[in-house]
Amino acid sequence: MSDGAVTGLGAESVTARLPAPARFVLGLGILTAFAALGQGLVTALHLPLPGSVTGMALLWAALGTRVIRMHWITDAADGLLGILGLLFVPATVGFIGYLSAGAAWGWWLLVMTAGLLVGAGLAGVLASRLVRAES
């Protein structure tokens, strides 16, 4: 979030003259607005998608058509990229929730782990008995 993020925008850009905290708040507001727009669209149209993903697609379209300029969101996006790993946790939980697999995944994980432990245990017991029988 340095002032160098807007280098090359020219003196005609209003956002280039804003202080860095104001550019961050502007960018964060735009990103939040697109996330809310995506959630509202998903809710209104009953789409089987996470609202944040829909909002991201809308933001991508707005950037591609130059309705939104990249330098408007650069400072906020750079700040959010600094904590990207933390941001994946709610996104993953939300996506699993939309797949209606929240509780089922827990049971599948439990069954798979139990199967692995039982299979490995039986293989170990069988191998130890075979080794003793040959000795």
pLDDT at residue 104, rounded to an integer: 66
pLDDT at residue 111, rounded to an integer: 84
pLDDT at residue 2, rounded to an integer: 47
One-letter amino acid for residue 85 of the chain: G
pLDDT at residue 3, rounded to an integer: 47
Token readout for 6 is 């807007």
- As a whole number of angstroms, the distance between CA 3 and CA 17 comes to 10
- Residue 16: alpha-carbon gap to chain centroid: 29
Q: Give per-10-residue mean pLDDT for the chain (135 aa).
A: 48 76 91 94 91 92 93 88 77 70 70 88 85 73
